[in-house]
Amino acid sequence: MKIAVCVKQIPDPATPYQLDPETHFVVRPEDQVLDDTDRYGIEVGLQLAEATEGSVVLVSMSPAGNLQGIRQALAMGADKAVVVSDPALRGSGALVTARVLAAAIKREEVDLVVAGTESTDGYAGVVPQQLAELLGMPALTFARKVEHVDGRLRIERQTAAGYDIVEAPLPAVVSVTAGAVEPRYPTFKGIMQAKQKPVDQPTAAELGVDSVGAEGSGQRISAVRPAPERAAGRKVVDDGEAHLEIVKLLEQAKVV
Ligand SMILES: Cc1cc2nc3c(=O)[nH]c(=O)nc-3n(C[C@H](O)[C@H](O)[C@H](O)COP(=O)(O)OP(=O)(O)OC[C@H]3O[C@@H](n4cnc5c(N)ncnc54)[C@H](O)[C@@H]3O)c2cc1C
């Protein structure tokens, strides 16, 4: 099975993000890291490829920088990467991102597309579903377990109450939840090999996608402001009757 895994390079979450004061876009540093969320997708892709003697191509839309995050993903064992990196993409929203990724994936002619459920920096949680629509494939979302059975994809789809079993024919798009699998650590050999693996870097125009960036997305960030600080919670001092007070508060919050 040939599998495309969508991976995102993001500014290191350990350092506070800087916003451009004029455009309000995130200032994307040269050094970006692999979004932790996408390690689960890579592991799912690698396991399915190993079971079917297939291959894994990473697909990303990222400012090129030094490709540190992509090399981290390649070091886990993926075969190659396609990184759409183009200044024209600045300000692109989720739908433009999905259009660009879909065009890159179409060129690869894959049997399966794997993505994370929600990225760590953007949190839109929509790109995998948009990809499925654009590629004309079924979308299997919130997968906590992914299996390839009799040429079809079967997942356990996480729900509030437990899980549903969902099946679809291939090709399909699946988004996996964090914790679906235990992502492997890159070996020293993997890290060395990653430096030699092919990384194709087409522009959006080369993929035939025009109308990108903020213009193409039809969005404008007019203002940003810090989220209000959370107010301190209420402290209930136990004078022997605190449990009654707590039950009352829980009832008010409709928790019980
Ligand atoms: C140079 C540049 C500038 C950008 N500027 C902006 C901007 O100003 N405003 C803006 O809204 N967006 C911008 N983007 C796009 C942005 O980085 C997000 O990719 C996009 O908005 C999707 O949102 P999300 O990450 O919340 O997606 P989600 O739907 O939360 O992501 C779910 C999953 O989809 C996949 N995925 C999502 N995005 C990508 C990606 N880029 N590459 C590979 N896989 C992906 C991952 O597997 C991820 O786990 C820019 C991108 C580039 C390359």
pTM of the model: 0.89
As a whole number of Å, the CA-based R_g of the chain is 21
Burial 171-185 (b: 16+ CB within 10 A, else e): bbbbbbbbebbebee
Q: DSSP label at 79?
A: S
Distance 84 CA to ligand 1 centre (A): 12
Mean pLDDT of 174-190: 95
| Pocket lining: 69 vs ligand 1, CB cutoff 6 Å | no
| Pocket lining: 29 vs ligand 1, CB cutoff 6 Å | no
55 is written with which tokens? Answer: 């291959």
Distance 54 CA to ligand 1 centre (A): 27
Q: Do residues 135 and 115 make contact, with C-beta atoms less than 8 angstroms apart?
A: no
Q: Whose CA is nearest to atom 53 of ligand 1?
A: 62
Best substitution site from 8, 28, 35 to test ligand 1's pocket, by max atoms within 8 Å of Cβ?
8
Distance 225 CA to ligand 1 centre (A): 21
| Between 113 and 23, the higher pLDDT residue | 113
| Between 177 and 30, the higher pLDDT residue | 177
Atom of ligand 1 nearest to the CA of 126: 29
Mean pLDDT of 100-125: 96
The secondary element (H helix, E strand) that includes residue 73 is helix 68-75
Q: What is the pLDDT of residues 52-62, one digit of tens each?
A: 999 999 999 98
Residue 117 has pLDDT above 80, yes or no: yes
- pLDDT, residue 243, reads 93
Residue 234 has pLDDT above 90, yes or no: no
Mean pLDDT of 191-216: 94
Distance 243 CA to ligand 1 centre (A): 46
Q: What is the pLDDT of residues 4-40, one digit of tens each?
A: 999 999 989 888 778 888 888 888 888 889 999 999 9
Q: Tell me how many degrees the CA angle 95-36-30 measures, rounded to the nearest 5.
A: 75
| Pocket lining: 127 vs ligand 1, CB cutoff 6 Å | yes
**Cα–Cα nearest to 217, from 81, 112, 90:** 90
Best substitution site from 112, 119, 220, 222 to test ligand 1's pocket, by max atoms within 8 Å of Cβ?
119
| Between 90 and 101, the higher pLDDT residue | 101
185 band by pLDDT with thresholds 50, 70 and 90: very high
| Pocket lining: 115 vs ligand 1, CB cutoff 6 Å | yes
How long, in residues, is the chain? 256
- pLDDT, residue 256, reads 82
Residue where the block lists tokens 């689960």: 40
